[in-house]
Chains A and B, each alone.
Chain A
Amino acid sequence: MSAHALILAGLDGDRTWRLQDYVARGGYAALKKIVAEKTPPDAIIAELKASGLRGRGGAGFPTGLKWSFMPRAFPGDKYLACNSDEGEPGTFKDRDILRYNPHAVIEGMIIGAWAMGCTRGYNYIHGEIFEIYRRFEEALAEARAAGLLGRNILGSDFSFELFAHHGYGAYICGEETALLESIEGKKGQPRFKPPFPASFGIYGKPTTINNTETFASVPFILGMGGEAFLNLGKPNNGGTKIFSISGHVNRPGNYELNLGTPFAELLELAGGIRGGRKLKAVIPGGSSSPVLPANIIMDCTLDYDAISKAGSMLGSGAVIVMDESTCMVKALERLSYFYHEESCGQCTPCREGTGWLYRVVHRIEHGLGRPGDVDLLKSVAGNIMGRTICALGDAAAMPVQGFVKHFGDEFAYHIEHKQCLVPRGVQDAGSQIYVSPSC
């Protein structure tokens, strides 16, 4: 972890997740100040806008703006949902936030509820992290017992109830409207938008959904001021961001860095490439972001604008590193399998298209590729893009486009020679993707 850390700062002991420890780190000071001073919602939203905070769940939408969409004078319940359904391959930051600093998320949600007039909230927690779901429930109990949650928070007339909802294994529930359906006790199938959740969310009530890391940033922003947070990063890319780095590095893990930090610095923090091999490519923002070859990523800074200029996305901040021993066809084959598996099946282009993409990459990988297959991949991916209810369709198409664009020669070689461009021995020594020769 870095010197600039906010959310991950000071998390060294084994009780950092306890209320008492959080308070000792300055936790709940922002909330207490807001309640004592009766800070108007507009002032909080203005502070968030000044901070340049953008959603940390993948899309990077400005949080202050999102919060301003909630209707003011709505009679009855308004909802807040936290998206901890972290399932985008490569992403494992929200788990650590909940594991080591859950009260930052709770405080951020309470402040959000105050600013948007929400009465109830749910944190939707990824199915596979049951132990962390349990811990979060304990943290909620601590907050309730301390008068920070529930009726008349800190003796004021402001009330907000917050609960944890445990997922049970469906990547698509990370999509915000699928998440709403799931909370309602249904299959996680995304809804058509509009209507947007701010007008029709959980049980048809106005709802705002943010990622875990987004909520966890809020107390820090109000503590230090929006401008100070913004200045940690760069214009339009305020603050710090947690990068989950995985793959062929010596020290995979979470590193919280100021937005705008050079990629090379993150790679160094993660101990560089394993076995002294050379960097080949990086998927910079979770499996759905287009892959970037070494020469491009090594010149990038890690922020929304720079990565998007380089032709990819900062996404969830999940940095997947691949060294020179990696077969790019094999890598794409596994990702395409994933999207096909996880498509909810509602839209034809996604349901059929993801299967088609997988089958074509699979046959190229297994020496059965046909001349024309690369063009076929491009055309199928292009026909999914923008033609589906939710962004999973795009998420499946973008990796294909990225891999084919930058590593088209490997696909062509596979098709022509029925084998890998990367020699077998090199792969066995390094990439670990294979167990037995099958390429």
Chain B
Amino acid sequence: MILTPETLQEFDREIAKYPAGEQRSAVMACLALAQRELGWLSPETIEFVANYLGMAPIAAWEVASFYNMYDLAPVGRHKITVCTNLPCALSGGVHAAEYLKKKLGIGFDETTPDGKFTLKEGECMGACGDAPVLLHNNHRMCSFMTKERIDQLLAELEKQ
């Protein structure tokens, strides 16, 4: 067993949202839950999820590789995704990304040597009025990310 019983309970809760026999519909949610627990999705994890749902591993793999928020390779403890799409760019989205690159000393799709931070370039997160926006570990959205607020966020994450 590679996942905790609590996570598997959450799997079952997701499966219950769909009609009997359609448990495959829960694959996106289960992959997300597995990633939350293990940090990224290895081939073994994807196969485990597929078996749990009674679907072909290749079908689960197709899903995992299609959607951008799944990580198919290890990432840092803190994955930071910055939106640089046009509406955000008009309000400093690219500046925020550049500042992060400078502070962390890495580019997009890179991880700091200590394994703490990974930086990603994101597309519209549906929050353009709050630009610059970034997403921490897929789950927490941070708005109006000026330099000062980026400093605060990094200091907070550094301690974790």
Q: Contact check, B126 vs A92: say whether CB atoms are below 8 A apart.
A: yes
Given contacts A131-B139, A185-B26, contact A90 B95 (CB under 8 A): no
A237 to chain B, nearest CB (A): 24
Which residues of the other chain, B, contact A168 by a CB distance below 8 angstroms?
A: 28, 31-32, 67-70
- Report which of B27, B32, B131, B140 forms a contact with A246, defined as CB distance below 8 A: B131
As a 0/1 sequence over residues 333 to 358 of chain A, the CB contacts with chain B under 8 angstroms (1 = contact) are 01100100110000000000000000
Q: Contact check, A246 vs B123: say whether CB atoms are below 8 A apart.
A: no
Q: Which of A122-130, A146-154, A388-396 contacts B (4 or more CB under 8 A)?
A: A122-130
Give Cα A164 to B25, complex, Å.
12
- Report which of A254, A326, A338 forms a contact with B90, defined as CB distance below 8 A: A326
Can you list 20 A-B pairs, Cβ within 8 angstroms, ordered by A? A89-B123, A89-B128, A90-B128, A94-B126, A126-B126, A128-B125, A128-B126, A129-B127, A166-B29, A203-B19, A244-B129, A245-B129, A246-B87, A248-B91, A253-B129, A335-B85, A338-B86, A338-B123, A432-B91, A435-B98
- Chain B residues 114 to 128 lying within 8 A of chain A, measured CB to CB, are 122-128
Q: Contact check, B123 vs A322: say whether CB atoms are below 8 A apart.
A: no
The 4 A-B residue pairs with the shortest CB-CB distance in the complex, in nearest-first order? A169-B68, A169-B69, A185-B24, A128-B125
Which residues of the other chain, A, contact B87 by a CB distance below 8 angstroms?
A: 89-90, 246-247, 287, 318, 320
Give Cα A90 to B59, complex, Å.
33
Interface residues of B (CB under 8 A from A): 17-19, 22, 24-29, 31-32, 53, 55, 59, 62-63, 66-70, 84-92, 94-95, 98, 122-131, 135, 138-141
Give Cα A92 to B32, complex, Å.
23
Q: Contact check, A252 vs B126: say whether CB atoms are below 8 A apart.
A: no
A343 to chain B, nearest CB (A): 12
Given contacts A94-B126, A247-B91, contact A187 B86 (CB under 8 A): no
B49 to chain A, nearest CB (A): 11
Q: Contact check, B25 vs A184: say whether CB atoms are below 8 A apart.
A: yes
Q: Contact check, A128 vs B86: say whether CB atoms are below 8 A apart.
A: no
Which residues of the other chain, B, contact A182 by a CB distance below 8 angstroms?
A: 28
Which residues of the other chain, A, contact B53 by a CB distance below 8 angstroms?
A: 185
A286 to chain B, nearest CB (A): 10
- Report which of B55, B67, B94, B140 forms a contact with A433, defined as CB distance below 8 A: B94
Give Cα A126 to B128, complex, Å.
14
Residue of A at shortest CB range from B122? A128
A107 to chain B, nearest CB (A): 20
Given contacts A131-B140, A185-B55, contact A433 B32 (CB under 8 A): no
Give Cα A28 to B39, complex, Å.
42
- Chain A residues 246 to 289 lying within 8 A of chain B, measured CB to CB, are 246-248, 252-254, 287
Residue of A at shortest CB range from B99? A435
Which residues of the other chain, A, contact B89 by a CB distance below 8 angstroms?
A: 334, 432-433
Which residues of the other chain, A, contact B131 by a CB distance below 8 angstroms?
A: 246, 252
Which residues of the other chain, B, contact A320 by a CB distance below 8 angstroms?
A: 86-87, 90, 128
Q: A166-B32, A320-B90 are in contact. List 4 more A-B contacts (CB 8 A).
A: A87-B123, A92-B126, A165-B28, A287-B86
Given contacts A86-B126, A89-B128, A246-B87, contact A165 B17 (CB under 8 A): yes
- Report which of A77, A170, A185, A252 forms a contact with B19, defined as CB distance below 8 A: A77
Give Cα A299 to B157, complex, Å.
49
Q: Contact check, B19 vs A90: say whether CB atoms are below 8 A apart.
A: no
Which residues of the other chain, B, contact A130 by a CB distance below 8 angstroms?
A: 138-141
Give Cα A432 to B69, complex, Å.
27
Which residues of the other chain, A, contact B98 by a CB distance below 8 angstroms?
A: 435-436
Q: Contact check, B22 vs A203: say whether CB atoms are below 8 A apart.
A: yes
As a 0/1 sequence over residues 138 to 174 of chain A, the CB contacts with chain B under 8 angstroms (1 = contact) are 0000000000000000000000000111111111000
Q: Does A188 sit at the interface, judged by CB under 8 A?
A: yes
A80 to chain B, nearest CB (A): 14
Which residues of the other chain, A, contact B18 by a CB distance below 8 angstroms?
A: 163
Residue of A at shortest CB range from B68? A169
Q: Does A363 sit at the interface, judged by CB under 8 A?
A: no
Give Cα A344 to B139, complex, Å.
24
Q: Which of B27, B94, B122, B127 has the most CB of A within 10 A?
A: B127
Q: Does A434 sit at the interface, judged by CB under 8 A?
A: yes
Give Cα A328 to B159, complex, Å.
42
B80 to chain A, nearest CB (A): 13
Which residues of the other chain, A, contact B138 by a CB distance below 8 angstroms?
A: 127-128, 130
Which residues of the other chain, A, contact B124 by a CB distance below 8 angstroms?
A: 87-91, 171, 287, 338
A134 to chain B, nearest CB (A): 9
Which residues of the other chain, B, contact A245 by a CB distance below 8 angstroms?
A: 129
A198 to chain B, nearest CB (A): 19
Q: Does A431 sit at the interface, judged by CB under 8 A?
A: yes
Q: Contact check, A434 vs B126: say whether CB atoms are below 8 A apart.
A: no
Give Cα A436 to B101, complex, Å.
13
Which residues of the other chain, B, contact A94 by a CB distance below 8 angstroms?
A: 126
B119 to chain A, nearest CB (A): 15
